Structure 1
Amino acid sequence: MAETYRIRSIQTWAQARDDYLSGLSAETVCRRHDLGLSAFRRRARKYGWRRSDQIEPPPGETDLSIYEDVGLDDQVETAALRFVQALEHGKATEARRWRRLWLELRDASDAMDAEMFPGMSRHEIAAMIAADDALYDDPEEADALRIEPPLSLKVHHCALEKIPDPLSPPEGA
């Protein structure tokens, strides 16, 4: 079945142009803004959105202070999410690269944890951090923010509890 014809606003095209010229790939821009790749390439050719035509900033030191609050745990999580995203889109090579980065970052994180908490496993460290975080949680705030599961899910769980486990011995035995 053919895709339907989509008309996008001027603002969407302007944002897509800016994203493309800032360095994102055409495929990524099209996914982000729900644009057709051929329509994007046609418009880019028509209006001269070539990166080679753009004025390059003067050479100098790049301001990396915007990344100061990004910790190693955030980097590990981002790499893991990008790995899964690449898998879902069927991009095996990209998925492989993200997986390699994710595992390297996770190993670096584990090495840091091993230095800070000698003799403890990853799971013990995570449990200790979770317990520490629980000390600072406000139970009233947690109750106010908790979302009740829908009734259908509650009924489903009740029904599952009544199904006997096929691996357990019968009650009369």
Structure 2
Amino acid sequence: MRNPEEADGFEGEASSRSMMSGASSPYQPTTEPVLPAHRLHVRCDTEYLRSTLGLLKVLEVLLALIAFICIETVKECLPCGGLYFFEFVSCTAFVVTGVLLLLFSLNLHTKVPQINWNLTVFGFLATGAYMVNSYVAVKIWRLTDRRQVTSQSSEYTRARSESRGEVESQPEIQRLEE
């Protein structure tokens, strides 16, 4: 049978009373204070949602969602590059602006004071500017590539025509050579 002192612990295990009983026990109480669990207090900031910035964010989220839904209804496209880019931009705008709206309307931005959230928005704008720059650069590159292919095919056509003796019958080719 067990002693009343050992009633707290399991067999072969020290009880909590014997752990705290003093110098004769090998188990000493901890010296670190027990802190209460840190809770994240989240509340909806209706003042932010009514402010100009809040209303703009809500409008941006709604417009990005509508744009994304509209682009998803397109069934066919022949040159789809622009369509895919618009789809990417509208989806990204919806997600990023939605996250920012949640951060600001739930006051979560105050829980991470190491990040300057207002400047972070400008970081997203700079990223968008770089993306537009990349898109334009690729578009120019493709145009240049198409012109080179077109000029190579016209040279091929001229060389083929010359080899067949068809140059005399095509005055526009003769004009280009002069």
Q: TM-score, normalised by structure 1?
A: 0.26
- The TM-score, its normalising length taken from structure 2, stands at 0.25
The structure that has the greater radius of gyration is 2
